Amino acid sequence: MQKRIYGVETEYGIIFTPEGRKTLPVEKAIRFLFEKLITTEHFLNVFLENGARFYQDTGCHPEYATPECASPRQLLVYDKAGERILEELEDYAEEKIREERIAGKLSIFKNNTDFVGNSYGCHENYLVDRDVDFYYLAEQLIPFLVTRQIYTGAGKVFQTQDGVHYCISQRAQHIYQKISGTTTNDRSIINTRDEPHADREKYRRLHVIVGDSNMSEYTNFIKIGTCAVVLQMIEDNFINKDFTLRNPVKAIKDISYDTTCKRPLRLDNGREYSPIEIQREYCEMAQRYIEQYPVSDELKDSVEKWQYVLDCLDTDPDKLSREVDWLIKRKMIESYLDQRGSSWNDPRVFMLDLQYHDIRVNRGLYYLLERKGAVERILNDDEVLKAMTEPPPDTRAKMRGEFIKLARQNAIQYDLDWSNIRLGNLLNVRVICNNPFETDTEKVAELVRTIQKTNLRKTSLSKLVIQS
């Protein structure tokens, strides 16, 4: 599949820290976040004008699902736009908290774990052809997903019986299955949920729930881009080597604890490869693939960055302290400890770890590094700002976003989901949008004209009443 739809669902951690006896339940803080978005839709489930969805997920987390995107870079733009949208809502919520006369600080984190062992996810979604055997695709993809954490991990400080350890991935410790249908209890590498939000006979949605939430634009780009290339290779039957891991669930945890990325893993065939070696094999296949098959410039760029990252991990990982999240964060913590002559047992290390993921531009440590020019960027602020209110122009999200904007401007009763638009006082007018690549349909255009005509009649009647 050369044209593909991409999406990411990010669950955010939220904490209210009181500065007195009076506190605020997290449930109420989340309701304040949503209060600014009150529409005719469900209170805690809102589609936005940029085509994205914002809702409260299981476990009382705010979750942002990007609109349908047509490329990895576009997905990165809308993922970052979600942070900025949530930051605006956080400002509003803090004002409402002050009105309640509750002293304290509201914090929202783009990470995957809290201090008591809970985990919340970052779920990647890739549109795939229904004709591709899903379990064959999953088995081919799992060794890649297990080992890619060496450049996609967000980094995590863990307190164990043996002391403090710095690990590559936050999510790896919470994976218990290869493939399963649940995202909360027996979390798996790949989820079998068959909800394509598109023509079910043509498409399936690959739901990857093993990845970390990333602050680094560079990390996020290669995470999505490399996975897209490997998917395309699987679909074209290009992968001719078997890297099936003997125990992928154990391997994903073992890799996370090995910051050298070189500890051998046992394959089903008895051979042993390090995570870097497995990733090199995939990357070299990808380099041959893009020479023989039509591939977008973005995916070619991701393969080039992939090669660079693997070379650095193999020879000098510290070279990636501007690009890869877990190495950016490790360097930041080590610099702090060196300045103060402290050790990893310093309790403030855990706060540094968490504060790296604060989405507030003026509070988050990642954004402090960004302002100092200490991290590599792929995007510019203007395109992220634009994506907060404008949907992608080349996917179905364009129709949804434009419809929402017009309906709200004209106070039209409506409800919708990823594939359906309903409007009218009884919500009895319905348009089905099953093609995620479609940017316009006559039915939606007719709905828009209906709204415009209704608004015109209201305006004329208003003028008539005033004149009389």
Residues labelled as active-site residues = 57
Token look-up 């004709």 returns 131
How long is the chain? Answer: 468
Q: Which residues of 13-25 are buried (b: 16+ CB within 10 A; e: fewer)?
A: bbbbeeeeeeebe
Angle ∠(324,327,73) on CA atoms, nearest 5: 10
Q: How far apart are CA 302 and CA 297, in angstroms?
A: 9
Strands (E), 200-292: 203-208, 265-266, 272-273
By the 8 A CB rule, do 451 and 410 touch?
Answer: yes
Angle ∠(90,95,97) on CA atoms, nearest 5: 90
**Residue 466, class by beta-carbon neighbours within 10 Å (0-12 exposed, 13-18 middle, 19+ buried)?**
exposed
By the 8 A CB rule, do 112 and 213 touch?
Answer: yes
Strands (E), 408-448: 414-416, 420-423, 429-432
Q: Give 241's contacts (C-beta < 8 A, 6+ positions apart).
A: 281, 285
CA distances from residue 206 to 49, 103, 130, 136, 366 in whole angstroms, order as listed: 25, 44, 10, 12, 30
Q: How far apart are CA 66 and CA 418, in angstroms?
A: 11
Question: What is the DSSP secondary-structure string of 15-37?
Answer: EEEESSS----HHHHHHHHHHTT
Please, which residues bridge with residue 11 across strands? 63
By the 8 A CB rule, do 406 and 415 touch?
Answer: no
Q: How far apart are CA 159 and CA 89, in angstroms?
A: 33
Q: How far is CA 430 from the centre of its chain?
A: 30
